[in-house]
Chains A and B, each alone.
Chain A
């Protein structure tokens, strides 16, 4: 019987310097914070982070672990808190960035998930996103002659996702919005799930609905209750507003941020 249960430490050990991480969730919702807290304490550096970003990216930038950020937005999206470390790094010109629209980001992951070199979309036409990413080409569609943006495949090495419940084989259910996580797991690279609960294989299939995260694409599962805190994991818990406010306050002081984050987050 397949058993993919592992530990947070084993997952973090798979992440090497210079790796490209694709992080699931959206803004403050369902981010794999248990993994990221452990990553914060590891010596890994020079990461490329691909994310619909909030605390995840800001934390890793604040700890000096990020060489390049690829994102569709950077916002706490309604939760209290601000991207203080990210904003500082961008304003100092200290971080490489690939600024995309939300859908261009999705298109790049779709390309990777289908092993295509690019994915066509209208998103980005007429914007300075194309000016600032000169490597992204606008193509002329066969059949119609329309202009379309050809977003290159965005290929992760490691995919980290938090779910409500997973089984031993890595099948998983997400009870709020899946966001793009169903797609992310198929983008290539190794996928690791943290889960509020882990149950014996078979228990998640009872209602006959299509599975949210498919086990064959998952390399490891770790039970991490409260694993998305201080972000939210619907319906288990909402954002911890006080903690996010404290985080934002601590991030104002770059000298002491690392020590604060390792001890308090």
Chain B
């Protein structure tokens, strides 16, 4: 079975370039919107999941889904940290665990608006536990016992009073900003200070979570079971990775839903446009199709040829859409994670996954748009096709 040369279709796209361009732009715009929404979701999710660790665990009050909802009395937190052999020890034999306070406080942005910034009151062991994720890039770490804070680098350029050397007012107590740290994860949008000082300034006697490194080989499920039934300190435990993933579910879900909805609706419009273009292309060339048929080409190769033409439209549209979305990569944006009510800063990420999804979607749009016109072309009678001008 002889196939129609592919160059025939490629050239015909070139001959009808205005229609081709308009269709390609239409598919491209659809694909770019999809890629943009997906890139937003990827950036957000990656921020939270890239820094989650398996050997660090988070203890929360049973029933709490985020740090803000979880509360521990100091004595209970102490018992939890000291009584669990599963918690790893440092060189001096002290448990690598810290009780942390967490509160989203109002801060003014440099551009004037107000937003909620998480403040983390850290314990003496917090820096050892989080050290691998956090790098002090300016100034120095906070000293315990002093009214000092250090600030994540995502905040220094967005918030008022957040540069090293500034003074930041918490309720009625002034705190000095002594350092700036950088982290790949959500810590990058936080303010850190001594848990005791922060608790006093904000009048928060209770602690919010206990974080600890666990000894290698710990059976986490067993630990969770025994903690759940614990009379003195009931708690739920999960790895930091699982905890952070849990914090992204809602916003990630909303973004994926939005992307899917837009892809479906805009995609349908793009398929209709593609069908229109291919129908016009075929009706203008019925004479040529008649010639192909009389030369002995079977209907199937003709169907395939026009399907290929539609596929080509899809590929071009996909490539254009990716090109249009590409400048978004790395653009920083911020929104509130409504699971924690705090603002997180993150960047759009055009990942390979985003690109393959976008191009795959574009090809699908092209094929769906081209299938029916190509079928019509293949079913033409040579004599009738030749007669039409």
A-B complex is real: no
B: residues with CB less than 8 A from A are none
